[in-house]
Structure 1
């Protein structure tokens, strides 16, 4: 059996007033992709913190993010979807601008293919267990002092 590919990823827990910023993919069903947090691939030569800020901006359309703290690193095997193990860097972020409770956003995928459309919204932190594909792995650390 071939060795699984490895990738470096970031996941962003954007927290405000006891709520977590999440999104759903507009063009896919909940059963396919579920509820997610801003996340993505760390580019070559990029620091994970910089990647977290970039991904949060790209996926939400917001700009005023700051890192509160790094929460840790965890591995996640995404087989059978892809034969890959992700090394995920989890960050708690804050957003320093007004946002609605719900809004539309899109990511252009670096100009390749059609933009991916998202619906962004806030959920109570205690509902973060609904996150897709292990994205809630380090949510409990948000409650650590």
Structure 2
């Protein structure tokens, strides 16, 4: 049985991936935007909503659906199983090097806003993502470098 439904978004702009760090929780590791699917919300709508809420970016579109799978988060220090949807999103706006954004409506039962430091990293280099966030990183690379965009 899954504890909740979550989305994970690989947001790309050219050959760069958008990632973030928790400013107040540095041990949380580098992550990709994502979060809980709300009641009566489709995973696709949740992916776009969560990406906008966590990054403050507009000009986001879904490039592709990657996978839906049940994921045990116990090995990553969270005693839960989730139903996860993974999406590839495209950002067509201007790419800033680094910025901070506060998510005003975080999930997971946390009511306090969360400050993120967001930045773009080249998909050609080594990328270390926390938890299951890196699960489909190689697939994203393959799609982008094969298609040349």
Query: TM-score, normalising length from structure 2?
Result: 0.84
Bigger Cα displacement from structure 2, 45-54 vs 111-120: 111-120
- Higher alpha-carbon deviation: 70-79 or 121-130: 121-130
Match of 1:26 among 23, 27, 34: 23
Q: Which has the higher strand share?
A: 1
In the TM superposition, residue 72 of structure 1 has moved relative to its aligned partner by 1.0
Deviation at 1:99, TM superposition (A): 3.1
Residues 110, 40 of structure 1: CA spacing in aligned structure 2 closer, same or farther, 3 A cutoff? closer
**2:118 equivalent in structure 1:** 120
Write the deviation string for residues 104-129 of structure 1: whole angstroms up to 9, x where unpaired: 10101269633100000001114464
Which consecutive unaligned segments of at least 5 residues does structure 1 have? Answer: none
Which contiguous aligned blocks of 4+ residues in structure 1 show a shift greater than 3 angstroms? 110-113, 126-129
1:63: which partner in 2? 58
Q: Do the aligned partners of residues 110 and 119 (structure 1) sit closer, same or farther apart at CA in structure 2, a change above 3 Å counting?
A: closer
**Alpha carbons of 1:58 and 1:128: their partners in 2 closer, same or farther (altered >3 Å)?**
farther
Q: Which residue of 2 aligns with 1:141?
A: 139
Call closer, same or farther: CA 1:75–1:128 in 2, change over 3 Å.
farther
Where structure 2 has 5 or more consecutive residues not aligned to the other structure, the ranges are none
Out of 74, 96, 103, the position equivalent to 1:100 is 96
Instruction: Please report the TM-score for the alignment, with normalisation by the length of structure 1.
Output: 0.87
* Contact kept? 1:5, 1:83, Cα under 8 Å: no
Q: How far 1:6 moved relative to its partner?
A: 2.3
Q: Does the 8 Å contact 1:128/1:139 carry over to 2? A: no
